[in-house]
């Protein structure tokens, strides 16, 4: 089964990893800004509602951290794949050069 239509270059992988990092930074900025707008609402709640609001904000923080970590891991995985891909390309090039030199 051929993989027609699938391919990449190390340059594309670098750009993809950088894009994921950029998106992660932008998303974290938006989440931080939104949290800043929600924070003043904490004083509007009393009693059980106040506790629930605090729990919800703690969950918000945990989910924001999870998203940050997931996007970070995706970017690192892309970059790790790039390194592996480049090493394999270099090894293939060296092998072909060696064979070509041996054949004269």
- How much is the pTM? 0.78
What is the domain class of 4-103 according to CATH?
Answer: mainly alpha
Residues 26-59 pLDDT 10s: 999 999 999 999 999 999 999 999 999 999 999 9
Six-digit token pair at 24?
Answer: 């992660």
* Angle of helix 47-103 versus helix 10-38 axis, rounded to 10: 170
* Angle CA 24–29–33, to nearest 5: 150
Q: Indicate if the pLDDT at residue 4 is higher than 80.
A: no
Question: At 1, is the pLDDT very low, low, confident or very high (cuts 50, 70, 90)?
Answer: very low
Compute the distance between CA of residue 20 and CA of residue 99 in angstroms, rounded to an integer: 39
For the chain, domain boundaries: 4-103
């Amino acid at each position: 089964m051929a993989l027609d239509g699938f391919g990449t270059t190390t340059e594309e992988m670098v750009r993809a990893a950088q894009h994921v990092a950029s998106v992660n930074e932008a998303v974290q900025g938006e989440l931080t800004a939104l949290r800043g707008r929600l924070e003043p609402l904490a004083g509007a709640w009393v009693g059980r509602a106040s506790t629930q609001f605090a729990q919800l904000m703690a969950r918000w923080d945990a989910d924001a951290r999870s998203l940050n970590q997931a996007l970070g891991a995706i970017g690192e995985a892309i970059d790790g794949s790039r390194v592996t891909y480049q090493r394999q390309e270099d090894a293939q090039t060296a092998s072909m050069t060696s064979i070509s030199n041996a054949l004269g």
